Amino acid sequence: MTKIVFVGAGSVVFTQGLLADLFALDLGPVHIALHDIDPERLDTAAGAASYIAAERGVTPRITAHLERRAALDGADFVINIVQVGMNAATRIDFEIPARYGVRQTIGDTLGVGGVFRALRTFPVLRGLAADIAEVCPEAWLLNYTNPMAMNVWYLHALGLQKVVGLCHSVYWTMHDLSALIGVPLDEVNYLAAGVNHQAWVLRFERDGVNLYDRLDEVIEADPELRRRVRVDMYRRLGFYPTETSEHSSEYVPWYLQHSSEVERLRLPVGAYLGIVAENLASYERTRDALKAGEPVPVEGTMEYAPQVIHSMVTGTPRTIYGNVPNTGLISNLPSGSVVEVPCLVDSLGVQPTAVGALPAQLAGLNKGYLNVAELVVRAAIEEDPRSIRQAVMADPATAAALPVEQIWALCDELVDAHRNYLAPPLRAALR
């Protein structure tokens, strides 16, 4: 029996989608073990899992655990979807920087929001890695929790080897680009590589014909398309970024800190707070529907984790995009950093593809991103609170908004606000 553990299963909306996908695949006997520290959310997740299984016509074993080690015992796969601090911590990540004049849209990957989300998450990842090493050392950890690159980098620094970061951005970018130019996705060949939320479509073809030419025609004919960050970046850099304009705007210094660019490119400052509110409302609708015996949505997500599990269990080969250590996979990005590349998955596990060198302008941006990630991981590994401030100093968007004294003051305030989640050595104020 294949045992699949959800850590952070109380992220009910995401758990539902993954379970709908898993239960649509032929995996043989399956044990779904759900873990969360919130009893109500855990109970809701268990109820949703049973409901979705019945709707899919399958009969997995489903267990719910408030204690993590009990859930992990004997696991084959661990899906990490934790969000440490939940909505309250996310709101702090937006509201305090906003007082300093720092604009964010999503705040979960880079910038001050990404840095402090990582620092809140690392102590949980350290405990999770230790538990996996003791009770299920052969399990694969499939990480969805952001900031993806920082979290996977940190897990590898702790010695966990069977870990891959999974994100849907490459797939949905190619899905949407194909629709935009009127070519069926199954007729498109593509190659993307870079770092999570800042990878690049390096090849975009059908039958050997470059589809970028067609994309150029569509963009030229539609002025509103040119009012999007990722289109603006594509026109200037020559390659299309694989994450939304809202995300992409946060990793460079050119957009969010200029009011004229916010208006020109229709950037929704603080957008993630609305997403957080909608996620909470969706959870409450699911919770209330299950209590009332009413139906809940059973919709697949096309996420990678169920596909990865199916390929490893059955040997069915698939190509996915994974976040893995850079062991020469992208030759002009730092060795040991975490990069996003195509990976073959089969019964042998995750096998990344070497892409070679990125175009210099793309590698330059990715190196700036990875500089921040490296300093955050160093802060945790070396227990050095100065590295937190140095990471935010190196962040392109924050550096465009604030002088260095205010960057340190902002970090001090965020450290104090999140101190209960941070490792004790990182709680020091450095005014």
What are 3-53's pLDDT values in tens digits?
999 999 988 778 889 999 999 998 999 999 999 999 999 999 999 999 999
Q: Give the range among 11-25, 80-94, 250-264, 354-368 with minimum mean pLDDT.
A: 11-25
pLDDT at 203 over 90: yes
418 in a known ligand binding site? no
Question: For this structure, is 35 an active site residue?
Answer: no
258 in a known ligand binding site? no
* Cα–Cα distance for residue pair 242/316, rounded to 1 Å: 26
156 in a known ligand binding site? no
Q: 3-class DSSP state for residue 196? A: coil
421: confidence class by pLDDT, cuts 50, 70, 90 = very high
The stretch 226-255 carries a mean pLDDT of: 96
- Residue 315 is predicted with a pLDDT of 96
Helical ranges in 222-349 per DSSP H: 229-237, 245-248, 259-264, 271-292, 304-314
Q: 3-class DSSP state for residue 97? A: helix
CA-closest candidate to residue 393, choices 414, 413, 361, 368? 368
CB 377 within 8 A of CB 149: no
Backbone angles phi, psi at 373, to 5 degrees: -60, -45
CB 66 within 8 A of CB 36: yes
- Residue 279 is predicted with a pLDDT of 80
Strands 189-195, 209-210: pairing is: unpaired
138 compared with 272, residue with greater pLDDT = 138
In this structure, what DSSP letter does residue 147 have?
S
Look up the pTM and report it: 0.95
Burial class (CB in 10 A: 0-12, 13-18, 19+), 195: buried
Give the distance from CA 187 to its chain's centroid: 27
How far the first Cα of the chain sits from its last, in Å, is 55
* Cα–Cα distance for residue pair 343/106, rounded to 1 Å: 27
- Residue 15 is predicted with a pLDDT of 87
- Residue 431 is predicted with a pLDDT of 65
* Cα–Cα distance for residue pair 169/386, rounded to 1 Å: 32
CA-closest candidate to residue 140, choices 346, 354, 387, 422? 346
* Cα–Cα distance for residue pair 297/60, rounded to 1 Å: 19
CATH class as words, domain 2-167+295-303: alpha beta
- Residue 72 is predicted with a pLDDT of 98
CB 34 within 8 A of CB 49: yes
> What is the amino acid identity at position 361?
Q
- Residue 13 is predicted with a pLDDT of 77
Catalytic residue among 31, 156, 168, 175: 168
CA-closest candidate to residue 264, choices 232, 291, 242, 240? 232
Q: Where do the structural domains in the chain lie, given as residue ranges? A: 2-167+295-303, 313-352
